[in-house]
Amino acid sequence: NAGVTQTPKFQVLKTGQSMTLQCAQDMNHNSMYWYRQDPGMGLRLIYYSASEGTTDKGEVPNGYNVSRLNKREFSLRLESAAPSQTSVYFCASRYWWSSGNTGELFFGEGSRLTVL
């Protein structure tokens, strides 16, 4: 069982370069998330997709875009990378239902991005 797979695991970019982080889940979850994790801080939500065909901003969306390509895949794009985007990025998924949501999140292994 692959669970949540994200690529690449490591990436070094120069300021101004662009890149896309890929995420795929094989658990038939309808809801997917992108978080960033910085030292001394909790996970912060960048964007999420409650269901296929919808995306919404989270707490820290500036400088990022997302695409929910299909039910399985949710990509995160940095159009013009900045040093402030140096971070560890986590993709996660869970099953969401409209009457409430106590479902646990399933995470990928993280992507460590350094912007010089």
Partner 1 sequence: ILNVEQSPQSLHVQEGDSTNFTCSFPSSNFYALHWYRWETAKSPEALFVMTLNGDEKKKGRISATLNTKEGYSYLYIKGSQPEDSATYLCAFSDSNYQLIWGAGTKLIIKP
Positions in the binding site for partner 1 (CB under 8 A): 3-4, 40-45, 48, 58, 90, 96, 100-110
User: Cβ closer to partner 1: 1 or 14?
Assistant: 1
Q: What angle do CA 56, 31, 37 make, to 5 degrees?
A: 70
Question: Using CA atoms, how far apart are residues 109 and 89, in angstroms rounded to an integer?
Answer: 9
| C-beta closer to partner 1: residue 67 or 106 | 106
CB of 25 to partner 1, least distance (A): 12
In the bound state with partner 1, the residue whose beta carbon lies nearer, of 62 and 104, is: 104
Query: What is the smallest separation between the CB atom of 107 and partner 1, expressed in angstroms?
Result: 4
Our measurement of the distance from residue 67's CA atom to the centroid of its chain's CA atoms, rounded to an integer in Å, reads 10
Asked if residue 95 lies in contact with residue 49, where contact means CB atoms within 8 angstroms, the answer is: no
Closest CB 42 distance from partner 1, rounded Å: 3
Q: How far is the CB of 115 from partner 1 (least distance, A)?
A: 21
Side-chain-side CA neighbours of 97 within 13 Å: the count stands at 5
Closer residue to partner 1 in complex, CB, 39/53: 39
CA distances from 34 to 46, 70, 85, 99 (A): 6, 15, 13, 23
